[in-house]
Amino acid sequence: MSDYWSMLFVFVLATFIGLGVIRRVSRLLYTPLMSLTNAISAIAVVGSIVVVGADYPTTIRILGGVALFASMTNIVSGFLITDRMLKMFKKQ
């Protein structure tokens, strides 16, 4: 039972860290911010890897495989396009 409390604890703390850090993000960079956080939240990939890679029934692993594909697409396109956009912000 205490484990759930520690998970909720982590959630609350992480949200406050998130609010604190994001508030300082430059207004110029809101579009890259969104693609970056999107890539980061594709960390869901670790869940998908377990579902697709463990010794589970095939139908379940197919669900995991599609999820892994979706997360991987977000990771790849998210990081690449964020970097592509950030490269363009020049001072002079």
Partner 1 sequence: MTQAIGQFAAIAATALFIFALYWMNDPKSARRGVYAGVAGMTVAVLATWIQPAIVHHGWILLAIAAGFLVGVPLSRVPLTAVPQRTALSHAFGGLAAGLVGTAEYYLWLREGPEHFTIFRMSALVIEVILGFLTFTGSLMAAGKLQEVRWIPQRPVTYPGQNFVNLGVLAAAAVLGVMLVLHPTASWATTVFPIIIGLAVLFGVLLIIPIGGADMPTVISILNSYAGLAAVAMGFVLDSKLLVTAGALDGSSGLILSIIMCRAMNRSFTNVLFGAFGTVQKTKALGEQKVWKQESPEGAAQLLEQARLVVVIPGYGMAVAQAQHKVRELYDQLTKRGVTVKFAIHPVAGRMPGHMNVLLAEADIPYTALVEMDEINPEMPQCDVALVIGANDVVNPAARYAKDSPIYGMPIIAADKARTVLAIKRTKNPGVAGIDNELYVLDNTWMLFGDAKGVIGDLVKQFAGGGLH
Query: Restricting to residues 72-91, which ones interact with partner 1 according to CB under 8 A?
Result: 72-91
Q: Does 4 bind partner 1 (CB under 8 A)?
A: yes
Please count the other Cβ atoms lying within 10 Å of the Cβ belonging to residue 48.
Answer: 20
46 contacts 82 by C-beta, under 8 angstroms: no
Query: Restricting to residues 12-51, which ones interact with partner 1 according to CB under 8 A?
Result: 14-15, 17-19, 21-51
Q: Does 2 bind partner 1 (CB under 8 A)?
A: no
Q: Does 3 bind partner 1 (CB under 8 A)?
A: yes
The least distance separating partner 1 from the CB of residue 84, rounded to whole angstroms, comes to 7
The CA-atom distances, in angstroms, between 26 and each of 29, 30, 38, 63 are 5, 7, 17, 38
> Total residues contacting partner 1 (rule CB under 8 A)?
80
Cα 83 to Cα 73: distance, rounded to the nearest angstrom: 15
The least distance separating partner 1 from the CB of residue 35, rounded to whole angstroms, comes to 6
